[in-house]
Amino acid sequence: MSVFDRARWHNVFAGPPTTTGNTFTMLAGGPAIYAALSRSIRAARHEILLETYIWNNDATGRAFLAAVTAAARRGVKVRILVDGVGSFGLVPESQQPLLRAGAQFRVFNRVRLLHGWSRLFMRDHRKVAIIDGRIAFTGGFGYGDQWAGLPPSGWWDVGVRVSGPVVAQFRRAFAGVWRQSGSTAIAPTVDHHLPHPGTEHLRFVPSRIGRHELFKRLRRAAHPARQRVYICTTYFIPSLWVRHALRRAARRGVDVRLLLPGPEVDHVAFRFAGRRHYGSLLAAGVRIFEYQPSFLHAKYAIVDADWGLLGSSNLDSWSSRFNLEADLEVHSRRAVQALADRFMKDLRFTREITSALWTSRSVWVRFAERFFGGFDPWL
């Protein structure tokens, strides 16, 4: 019997093939993510590929620049791709040691107002790291002090370290955006005879600007759900079809839970615009939890025992309309259970928004939800 039901998930599997023989290691919290990534960078012998939205010119950002600069000096091929808005503060002077060491540094869609507003909104929101074509990382993390500490001082995030055949999919996705950024093409794979070190069924799914990949996958995954649908996201402004799917699942007895940011947010508009959907979801039986210790920046989901997702995508229009995103789909029970265990641990630091609590909110909160909800299509 297969580890997962291929027929059941056929519609969800459109896109790159699911690979077998992978390892999957959850990394909870910025310090754990940074420790694992730093070890891999120090151990790199051939190639380091980093793609991210946020790379700050702070202590953490400079520390990672120093680490990859040291790798370039010992002969490792280093290619770094950052976004023009998310990494706007990374001044050219800070890049000079890296460039002198022989590394390549590119900016996706630099901020040029003369290009027009539509192009300004198109961003590279992916967060991936590929080391020697054998190890890859993804999640919600960038390179900045906000991830350097645990809550309450730092943002809460989760990531994953994988190895095996799925890493080639990471590398092909990076190569595509690298070429779009105006750089010379790089080989999509390193070695066709890499070992298969594990047993996990994984696939890496990059989405393009204007393609609602996360909405489609989540809606299709929730439709046949039988036991549970758990979603953790930073920005919760779901499409009508996703809301329908979640309500239908809850009404037929599926345990549907949402883990969302609490009072600590970086953009207040997203919080109130998303909260206006709470009422109809609660009425259908969806349970909603808001994270309390600090800003929740993690993005992952679980459906039943054989489908999971972790990566950069948020449940908002901005993510689906304007951003390059990338997520790791998980199709083996051990890895899905690791995500579910993480979800239940994260729930310990939340406040559940019950129907009674929701109906007792103040008139000012209701006004904010209605006002910011008017911008729903653009958030």
Report the run of H or E that residue 108 belongs to, with start and end: strand 104-108
DSSP-derived secondary structure letter, 183: P
Listed residue (71, 185, 198, 74) closest to 131, CA to CA: 71
Cα 101 from chain centroid?
Answer: 30
What is each CA distance from 266 to 30, 121, 217, 263, 288, in whole angstroms?
A: 17, 18, 27, 10, 20
SS3 57: coil
Tell me the helix, strand and coil percentages in the chain, rounded to 5: 40, 25, 35
DSSP-derived secondary structure letter, 147: G
| Pairing label, strands 47-52, 128-131 | antiparallel
DSSP output for 183-201 = PPP--S-S-TT------EE
- Residue 80 contacts residue 68 (beta carbons within 8 Å): yes
Separation CA 327–CA 226 (nearest Å): 23
Q: Which residues participate in catalysis according to the annotation?
A: 125, 127, 132, 297, 299, 304
DSSP-derived secondary structure letter, 17: P
SS3 188: coil
DSSP-derived secondary structure letter, 114: G
DSSP-derived secondary structure letter, 202: E
Phi and psi for 370 in degrees, rounded to 5?
A: -70, -40
